[in-house]
Homo-oligomer: A and B are copies of this chain.
Amino acid sequence: MIDYQSILNAIYNNVVQDEDKGQIANYIPELANVNKDSFGIHLQLISGGAYSVGDSEKKFSIQSISKVLSLALAISKVGTDIWNRLDVEPSGNPFNHLSLLELEKGIPRNPFINSGAIVIADILVSLLENPKTDFLEYVRDITGDANIDYNYKVALSEKQTGFNNYAAANLLKSFNNLNNHVDDVLDFYFHQCSLEMTCAQLTKAFYVFANKGNCMLQKTRLTKSQAKRINAIMLTCGFYDEAGEFAFEVGLPGKSGVGGGIVALLPNEFIISVWAPGLNERGNSKLGMQALEQFTTLTNQSIF
């Protein structure tokens, strides 16, 4: 029997001593105002137990991690047809590169690069009656937590400064791969990315992927096959151009965000989330990556 609490404590003590905590994302003031020393982990077992250490109950901006949730909602509503408009291959490039999108004529490489997530946002804007409200409702539902909400200041900041996303959306539109107005799609997208959660909430939100499509409250929200495939995309595409490294060092499907959060999971076993706002050079939480490497090394658990 693994003593998870001791392992989390050991990781905590180990990691917080690192003097180089990486760089906090500062492209919008709301993200920059975070305490660089924040660090929390939450571990949720499918078998029922839960463990945590540090700032695991503090809210942070989940940013790109939300792309997995929007993908899940789109897949649950549209099924495999969404793959007509985007692919599932790793990008092999930093997360904001438009070059590949142009080269591949407006078909994003996968749903976790910005252009791919914008296509998913476009699909949801077409499908949902009240996109922002309905998506928030979905996230609260699968998480089983009605307190989850957008951070409207973060969303507004992104709207005012997210020129690269405007570039991506317009490029998609020039290739006829965006059905709604750029402004409408990005308004939804910026709100989606502004979602705030604690580490504990994040593990609950991702329970559905580790549990064959059945969410925290044991309601079926995805088919087994859909959950499996979303896990596969997380593994191959979840960490920008560090996806191979994460698979290699950690060996779990997961997703990171520039807010410093990372969530990862072992199907049928557990979901673990880490938050440490300082980023490494490739835009992933520096201490978060270290913590997860140590976790899979110490517990000897991975999909491989």
A contact residues vs B (CB 8 Å cutoff): 87-93, 97-100, 102-103, 109-110, 163-164, 166-168, 170-171, 173-174, 182, 224-225, 227-229, 231-233, 235-237, 241-245, 247-249, 251, 253, 267, 297, 300, 302-304
C-alpha spacing A233/B247, complex, angstroms = 8
Q: Establish whether residues A87 and B232, one from each chain, have CB atoms under 8 Å apart when the complex forms.
A: no
Chain B residues in 8 Å Cβ range of A90: 89-90, 92, 236, 243-244
Determine which of B92, B103, B228, B244 lies in contact with A304 in the assembled complex, contact meaning CB atoms within 8 Å: B228
Known: A93-B92, A166-B182. A302 touches B243 (CB 8 A): no
Chain B residues in 8 Å Cβ range of A167: 98, 166-168, 170-171, 174
Chain B residues in 8 Å Cβ range of A164: 170-171, 174
CB distance from A117 to the nearest CB of B (A): 16
Chain B residues in 8 Å Cβ range of A229: 248-249, 251, 304
**From DSSP, what is the main secondary structure of chain A's interface residues?**
helix
Determine which of B110, B232, B241 lies in contact with A251 in the assembled complex, contact meaning CB atoms within 8 Å: B232
Q: Establish whether residues B228 and A302, one from each chain, have CB atoms under 8 Å apart when the complex forms.
A: yes
Q: Establish whether residues A241 and B170, one from each chain, have CB atoms under 8 Å apart when the complex forms.
A: no
Give me the 10 closest cross-chain CB pairs, A-B, nearest first.
A92-B92, A99-B99, A90-B90, A163-B174, A167-B170, A89-B244, A231-B304, A166-B170, A167-B171, A303-B303
C-alpha spacing A110/B302, complex, angstroms = 21
Chain B residues in 8 Å Cβ range of A228: 251, 302, 304
Chain B residues in 8 Å Cβ range of A236: 90, 235-236, 243-244, 247-248
**Most chain B CB neighbours (cut-off 10 Å) among A90, A173, A229:** A90
9 A-B pairs within 8 Å (CB atoms) are namely A99-B99, A166-B170, A224-B300, A225-B297, A232-B244, A232-B248, A233-B244, A235-B247, A236-B244
Chain B residues in 8 Å Cβ range of A98: 98-99, 102, 167, 171
C-alpha spacing A86/B122, complex, angstroms = 34
CB distance from A51 to the nearest CB of B (A): 23
C-alpha spacing A216/B271, complex, angstroms = 34
CB distance from A122 to the nearest CB of B (A): 13
